[in-house]
Amino acid sequence: MIKKGNSTVPILEARNISKVYGNGVYANKNICFSLNEGEIHALVGENGAGKSTLMKILFGMEKPSTGEILIKGNPVVFSSPQDAMKYEVGMVHQHFKLVDPLSITENVVLGYEPMKNGLIDRKTAEEKVKEITKIFDIREDLSTPVGKLPVGTKQKVEIVKALYRGAKILILDEPTAVLTPQETVELFEKLIQLKNEGLTVVFISHKLREVKQITDRISVIRRGELIETFFTKDVTEQEISAKMVGTTYTSALDKGESKLTEVVLDVKNITSKGLGDISVVNNMSFTVRGGQIIGIAGVEGNGQNELIEMITGLRPIDGGSVKINGMDTAGKSIIQLRNAGLSYIPSDRIDRGLAISMTIEDNMIATKLDQKSLYTNGLLSRSKIRSMSEKLVKEYLVRCNSVEAEVGMLSGGNMQKVVVAREFTQGATLIIAEQPTRGIDVGAAKFIYEELIKLRNQGCAVLLVSADLEELYKLSDHILVMYNGEISAYIKNPSEVSETELGTYMLGVKKQSAEEIKGAYYEKE
């Protein structure tokens, strides 16, 4: 802390910060957060808790709806990151903001170039950058275009850029998410070195082990609220994870009866190699039977995306196998997988779910071109396409003026409804639903829940991947928890396991025995 008269004040303080986005989402609620000079302070919380929003506010990228920021006890107003930088605040974003064709040096000095006689003083720039990069062991030549650098080095360049601009307070938004364990160790060493030189660091992470290792204090954010700030030495991983997920018990919706049938999705010993020697998915085995909803819980980035990509044919399988209705998917095209019974609602609906510049109706029928009901005398019939898509728009409550409108003009929630309408009406026997209700309104979410349950009860196998625990509890018959590319728990009866306990598996605090995890794989006797 900084001495001011007889008392000490935080180097930075957020007072009663609230942030409501245009879509009505309360991302931050009355947050009070303070930083002491020279500390490493972790900000932890589930996906969507509001961490990035708070940091963007402290970095002048977002304006708070209410509340104030104080630097060394004095109120400040940041209208842009440039303002924040004047007060020595720097930030490294989750998604880097580097310019690929420019060199390391050019990226670091960009917008803050040293000048001499009205010209950019390259020599001084190079010397200054060289000096700062020293502690980071950047092995590449400083004239290398950053586009050519591995991700770990890009991150170092981002940190160097912040330091070059004079940051004394450095905000790192999930810096280790993109790093290998070795690179993480290296980053931590540097951060501790910088801390000893007086730097203050805010460090966002989901990985509680890391957080325990490197920080002085930990603040927990849940659903937009700052729940508590701890001294790291006074708190266990278990306690932090409980604060992160809370203790609410969500009960399952009344799903009604479903008749379990045979295994529709059979995933056996599946493995995906990442870069380097660590697997991003490691030897996972589980089944989904007809009439069953299996939920996958996990903090984002623990292999869920890669798992789904392998099942849906978007990523090669490096080991093990996937069978859909008995068909081994190896070497099969996406069309063959669809013919075998697969329907897929991707989390990235803009890139993967829709052809954004095409009309709503063309998107609706894109996967239905082999349906006889769309043809007259062997030719695709516009009027039949029209009436089918109008029927779907109506049933799925897509808000649009006409099915001839470009799908890209719809709101996010309505785009999602288009994908869902198409995928739910494919006659599929396996539905993979990835974050199916993310970013959509409550009414539409409820509708999607009802449809998923209906499909289950008709005998469809459903694999639901969600970052929303409440959603998983509501829908899943059983829950698999993924941590570090593996199944860390198989929750046979979700109603008997609290969110707090689930959280300990999600965060790697606890792991079930191999015997318990085996329950996820059903083998016919």
Ligand X SMILES: Nc1ncnc2c1ncn2[C@@H]1O[C@H](COP(=O)(O)OP(=O)(O)O)[C@@H](O)[C@H]1O
Complex with Mg ion: residue 97 or 382, whichever CB lies closer: 97
> Judging by DSSP bridges, how do beta strands 40-44 and 66-71 pair with one another?
unpaired
CB of 55 to ligand X, least distance (A): 8
* Span 160-179, contacts to Mg ion by CB under 5 A: none
Place of tokens 């500390």: 39
Q: Contacts with Mg ion: how many residues (CB under 5 A)?
A: 1
- Taking CB under 6 A as the binding criterion, the range among 22-30, 288-296, 343-351, 447-455 that sits at the site for ligand X is 22-30
User: Residue 54 carries which side chain, given as an amino acid letter?
Assistant: L
CB of 45 to ligand X, least distance (A): 5
Q: Where are the alpha helices (DSSP H) in 23-121?
A: 51-58, 81-86, 104-109
- Taking CB under 6 A as the binding criterion, the range among 21-29, 32-40, 385-393, 412-420 that sits at the site for ligand X is 21-29
Binding to ligand X by residue 301, rule CB under 6 A? no
Complex with ligand X: residue 23 or 80, whichever CB lies closer: 23
At 404, give phi and psi (nearest 5°): -85, -5
CB of 52 to Mg ion, least distance (A): 3
Binding to ligand X by residue 412, rule CB under 6 A? no
Complex with ligand X: residue 199 or 299, whichever CB lies closer: 299
- Please name every residue paired with 39 in a beta bridge, in sequence order, or none if there are none: none
Q: Where are the alpha helices (DSSP H) in 120-228?
A: 122-133, 151-164, 181-196, 208-214
CB of 66 to ligand X, least distance (A): 16
CB of 53 to ligand X, least distance (A): 3
Instruction: Show the tokens assigned to 16.
Output: 């009663």
x/- track of binding to ligand X for residues 26-65 (CB under 6 A) = -x-----------------x-xxxxxxx------------
CB of 301 to Mg ion, least distance (A): 11
Complex with ligand X: residue 290 or 503, whichever CB lies closer: 503
Question: Judged by CB under 6 A, which of 23, 74, 182, 236 binds ligand X?
Answer: 23
Q: How far apart are CA 68 and CA 122, in angstroms?
A: 39
Pick what 47 binds: Mg ion, ligand X, none; C-beta below 5 to 8 Å, kind-dependent. Answer: ligand X
Q: Which residue number has the CB closest to Mg ion?
A: 52
Chain centroid, CA 340 distance in Å:
30
Return the DSSP state at 135.
G
Task: Output the CA torsion sign for 346, 349, 350, 353.
Answer: positive
> Judging by DSSP bridges, how do beta strands 430-434 and 461-465 pair with one another?
parallel
Q: Contacts with ligand X: how many residues (CB under 6 A)?
A: 12
Please choose, from the candidates 181, 219, 226, 178, the residue with its C-alpha nearest in 3D space to the C-alpha of residue 202.
219
Pick what 458 binds: Mg ion, ligand X, none; C-beta below 5 to 8 Å, kind-dependent. Answer: none
Complex with ligand X: residue 23 or 269, whichever CB lies closer: 23
CB of 435 to ligand X, least distance (A): 11
Complex with Mg ion: residue 52 or 305, whichever CB lies closer: 52
Is residue 283 classed exposed, middle or buried when 0-12, 13-18 and 19+ CB atoms within 10 A define those classes?
Answer: middle
Pick what 48 binds: ligand X, Mg ion, none; C-beta below 5 to 8 Å, kind-dependent. Answer: ligand X
CB of 50 to ligand X, least distance (A): 4
- Give the list of residues 6+ apart from residue 484 with CB closer than 8 angstroms, or none: 282, 302, 303, 508
Please choose, from the candidates 89, 55, 54, the residue with its C-alpha nearest in 3D space to the C-alpha of residue 71.
89
Instruction: Show the tokens assigned to 61.
Output: 């990228």
Q: How far apart are CA 229 and CA 93, in angstroms?
A: 23
Q: CA 163, 167, 173 angle in degrees (round to 5)?
A: 85
* Span 32-71, contacts to Mg ion by CB under 5 A: 52
Find the helix or strand (DSSP H, E) in which 395 lies.
helix 382-395
Footprint of Mg ion on this chain (CB under 5 A)? Answer: 52
Summarize as ranges the residues that interact with ligand X (CB under 6 A): 21, 23, 25, 27, 45, 47-53
